[in-house]
């Protein structure tokens, strides 16, 4: 069982992220995955599904709040979308 699978499917399918939404821990989690996130950012205080795809392509400025939204990013290379 990989750590990412545990994070997303633990606690009867709700996942660990469900319990840290809106907190600094969720911002730290997405920073670890490569997202560039500014200061005083609040992510998903009410939740979203999926919360963020390919966080390494995402930049969020200072004092932003993203709620009830999905941040979806993809790389299009040679007319193919990579996931």
Output DSSP code: residue 17: G
How far apart are alpha carbons 36 and 13 in whole angstroms?
A: 28
Residue that is written with structure tokens 């606690």 in the block: 11
pLDDT digits (tens, 9 = 90+) for 28-72: 989 999 999 999 999 988 877 667 878 898 999 999 999 888 787
pTM of the complete model:
0.73
11-34: pLDDT as tens digits: 665 677 778 888 999 999 899 999
């Amino acid at each position: 069982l990989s750590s990412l699978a545990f994070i997303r499917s633990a606690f009867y399918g709700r996942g660990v992220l469900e319990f840290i939404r809106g907190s600094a821990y969720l911002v730290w989690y997405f920073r670890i995955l490569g997202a560039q996130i500014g200061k005083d950012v609040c992510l998903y205080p009410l939740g979203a599904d999926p919360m963020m795809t390919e966080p390494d392509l995402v930049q969020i400025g200072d004092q932003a709040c993203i709620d009830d939204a999905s941040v979806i990013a993809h790389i299009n290379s040679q007319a193919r979308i990579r996931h």
